[in-house]
């Protein structure tokens, strides 16, 4: 019998397994939708997708490539290229021996682990013992021995009804919840490291995201915009089943008004409050359920607890979500590298020329409200909203 991998075992994120049957069935549909879109985007083929309790099995002639591709789908905890066979001790043993022979080598410590669902004339322990004995007998001249604690090589056997699946490798997935299961959010996007990671984290929790960038040109430059577009394209690749939109808000004139008329020490607070007011209107007009930012406690002057409270008070109708609130920079950078945004974010750009040299660290809401009295807030918002453009990435 030739050794041929023909299946990919797809395992859910742990949270999905504890949902009600109705919710799990809905999550299954969303997960399969994302799986098909992921494979299509990667140019990979499949023959059939089978849903069984707690598992999805993908039949394919490209199992190793498919397993790697599907590990990037939100809601999948891990995948494994596997060989399917009839759920009999003889056939399972034959496949296991082929796997052991392919591994080869001398003085190998190995283990056999079995999980079984259904009615059979044998137990999981029976399978492990039977297969282990066959391998020991076949590989005795090479000094193979059983080691269940620290094996060099493990043959895993999963038995479902009349079929068995054998695998060696486990590809770690991104976990989370299937996209589309939790509604839509508006994610504020800068050209930095934090905001793309914040957007990815809520995508991982099943949210669909619309990206919003405030183009501050005259205080920033073209490189900033180019980075934001490139970052949006990376995030879109994580969401092949759903269209990703990038909304651009011309904000240079608004920021100029703030710089020229407002208190310089309050520039960043006045700027961010205005951004959030516009973001709130955009989100409400599109039926989105909240605003996401890349704020982390204390990372910048505008991100102290007191200043974030002042900034947040500008929004009246929607929650503001800050997935990175308790992250330090190295933690955020690790995720950025993992998801493919770090190198883009790290590219040099012009920065914001409006930032004050001595920003307020702990502003009072009363002084910010007083400073805003000289601004025609409604007109600034209306003007910005009328000039919004949208890109599909």
What are the pLDDT digits (tens) for 170-198? 999 999 999 999 999 999 999 999 999 99
- Structure confidence at residue 72 (pLDDT): 97
CATH 3.30.2130.30 residue spans of the chain:
88-161
Q: Which CATH number fits domain 184-392: 1.10.10.10, 3.20.10.10, 3.40.640.10, 3.40.50.620?
A: 3.40.50.620
- Mean pLDDT, the chain, rounded, equals 95
Return the structure tokens found at 167.
């695998």
Pairing of strands 184-188, 7-12: unpaired
CATH 3.30.70.1510 residue spans of the chain:
1-82
- Structure confidence at residue 253 (pLDDT): 95
Share of the chain above pLDDT 90, in %: 92
* Burial group, residue 45, by CB count within 10 angstroms (0-12, 13-18, 19+): exposed
Neighbour count for residue 392 (Cβ, 10 Å): 9
Q: How far from the centroid of its chain's Cα atoms is residue 378's Cα?
A: 37
How far apart CA 85 and CA 91 sit, in angstroms, is 7
Return the structure tokens found at 312.
């947040």
Q: What are phi and psi of 209, to 5 degrees?
A: -115, 145
- Structure confidence at residue 2 (pLDDT): 53
CATH 3.40.50.620 residue spans of the chain:
184-392
Pairing of strands 109-117, 171-172: unpaired
Whether residue 327 has pLDDT greater than 50:
yes
How far apart CA 279 and CA 292 sit, in angstroms, is 10
Average pLDDT over residues 17-43: 93
What is the signed CA dihedral for 74, 245, 257, 369, rounded to 10 degrees? -50
* Burial group, residue 185, by CB count within 10 angstroms (0-12, 13-18, 19+): buried
Please choose, from the candidates 158, 168, 82, the residue with its C-alpha nearest in 3D space to the C-alpha of residue 120.
158
Write down the architecture of domain 1-82 according to CATH.
Answer: 2-Layer Sandwich (3.30)
181, 284 in Cβ contact below 8 A? no
Phi-psi region of 69 (alpha: psi -120 to 50; beta: other; left: phi over 0): alpha
**Per residue in 48-101, pLDDT tens?**
999 988 899 999 999 999 999 999 999 999 999 999 999 999 999 999 999 999
Average pLDDT over residues 228-253: 97
Phi-psi region of 118 (alpha: psi -120 to 50; beta: other; left: phi over 0): left
160, 84 in Cβ contact below 8 A? no
The CATH class, in words, for 88-161 is: alpha beta
Whether residue 31 has pLDDT greater than 50:
yes
- Structure confidence at residue 344 (pLDDT): 98
- Structure confidence at residue 375 (pLDDT): 95
Whether residue 342 has pLDDT greater than 90:
yes
How far apart CA 161 and CA 45 sit, in angstroms, is 26
| Alpha-carbon distances, residue 213 vs 42, 249, 268, 272 (angstroms) | 28, 6, 16, 12
Residues 6+ apart with CB under 8 A from 283: 185, 186, 210, 289, 290, 291, 318
Neighbour count for residue 121 (Cβ, 10 Å): 7
| pLDDT confidence bin for 138, thresholds 50/70/90 | very high
């Amino acid at each position: 019998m030739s050794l041929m991998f023909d299946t990919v075992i797809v395992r859910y994120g742990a949270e999905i397994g504890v949902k009600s049957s109705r919710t799990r069935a809905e999550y299954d549909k969303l997960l399969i939708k994302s799986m098909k879109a992921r494979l299509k985007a990667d140019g990979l083929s499949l023959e059939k997708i089978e849903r069984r309790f707690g598992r999805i099995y993908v039949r394919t002639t490209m199992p190793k490539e498919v397993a790697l591709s599907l590990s990037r789908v939100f809601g999948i905890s891990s995948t494994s290229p596997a060989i399917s066979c009839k759920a009999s001790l003889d056939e399972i043993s034959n496949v296991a021996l082929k796997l052991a022979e392919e591994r080869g080598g001398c003085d190998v410590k190995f283990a056999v682990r079995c999980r079984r669902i259904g009615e059979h004339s044998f137990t999981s322990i029976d399978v492990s013992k039977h297969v282990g004995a066959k391998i020991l007998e076949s590989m005795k001249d090479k000094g193979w021995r059983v080691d269940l604690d620290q094996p060099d090589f493990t043959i895993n056997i999963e038995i479902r009804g009349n079929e068995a699946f054998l695998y060696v490798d486990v590809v770690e997935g991104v976990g989370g919840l299937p996209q589309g299961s939790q509604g839509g959010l508006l994610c504020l996007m800068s050209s930095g490291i934090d905001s793309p990671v914040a957007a990815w984290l809520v995508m991982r929790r099943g949210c669909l995201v619309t990206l919003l960038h405030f183009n501050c040109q005259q205080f920033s430059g073209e490189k900033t915009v180019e980075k934001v577009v490139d970052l949006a394209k990376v995030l879109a690749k994580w969401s092949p089943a759903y269209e990703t939109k990038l909304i651009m808000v011309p904000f240079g004139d608004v920021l100029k008004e703030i710089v020229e008329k407002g208190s310089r020490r309050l520039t960043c607070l006045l700027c961010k409050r205005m951004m959030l007011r516009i973001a709130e209107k955009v989100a409400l007009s599109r039926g989105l359920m909240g605003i996401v930012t890349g704020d982390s406690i204390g990372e910048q002057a505008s991100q102290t607890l007191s200043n974030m409270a002042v900034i947040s008070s500008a929004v009246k109708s929607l929650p503001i979500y800050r997935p990175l609130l308790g992250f330090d920079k190295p933690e955020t950078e690790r995720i950025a590298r993992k998801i493919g945004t770090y190198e883009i974010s790290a590219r040099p750009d012009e920065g914001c020329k409006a930032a004050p040299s001595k920003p307020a660290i702990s502003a009072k809401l009363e002084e910010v409200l007083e400073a805003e009295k000289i601004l025609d807030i409604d007109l600034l918002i209306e003007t910005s909203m009328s000039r919004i453009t949208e890109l599909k990435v």
